Amino acid sequence: MRIAKTLGLSAVALLVTFGLAVESKAQQQPSDANIGAIVVAANQIDIDYAKIALRKSKNKEVRDFAQQMITDHEAVLKSVIELAGKLNLTPVENETSKSLKERSVETTAKLKSLKGKAFDKFYIDNEVAYHKLVTDAVSGVLIPSAQNPQLKSALEGAQPLLIGHLEHARNVQATVDPSATGKSASHMR
């Protein structure tokens, strides 16, 4: 019960973070430099969560998923940094990137406090919620706001990977907690 409540709070915090980004879009779109900082933060956060999962989980599916997150998000992070250098774009911290980092502190603490099946469930439930919110933010805010065609193209190119991560997370979630399959889709609407 506490795990579900904590996950719910984490998901709400992420919804608020990305919701603020969507709401602020109407007022002021994030600049390309802001987008760079958001993308860097989101990727690094997921890498950090996955590293914790590799240290703590004994579940093969969870560990395989975590390793894929490290591999894929490190590759995305590297390509973002290379593109930023090519475009002479210095990522600029903003409310969304700062909020992502602040919220990750709470999730990281929770991940570190759990063990066994409770850890696996919390980690994969968080990954489902996180990737759902990230894919929505990329398509709904970041891609439409990107001014540089190369940055926009890179974001569009990353979207299928992120959607694949979401589907993979949902598949792992079904093995960790078979009762969660119907909840994850309806929980995020």
**What letters, b where the CB count within 10 A reaches 16 and e where it falls short, cover 118-132?**
ebbbbbbbbbbbbbb
* Whole-angstrom distance, CA of residue 65 vs CA of residue 70: 9
Joined together, the tokens standing for residue 161 give 């990977």
pLDDT tens column, 121-160 = 999 999 999 999 999 999 999 999 999 999 999 999 999 9
- Average pLDDT of the chain? 86
- Interacting residues of 5 by C-beta distance below 8 A, sequence separation 6+: none
pLDDT value for 182 = 53
Enclosing domain of residue 59: 2-187
Place of tokens 């439930």: 125
30: closest CA among 98, 130, 102, 88? 98
Query: Based on the structure, what is the number of domains in the chain?
Result: 1
pLDDT tens column, 51-81 = 999 999 999 999 999 999 999 999 999 999 9
Amino acid identity, position 176? V
Percent of the chain with pLDDT over 90: 78
pLDDT tens column, 19-40 = 444 444 445 789 999 999 999 9
Percent of the chain with pLDDT over 70: 80
Joined together, the tokens standing for residue 114 give 């759990």
CATH number at residue 99: 1.20.1260.10
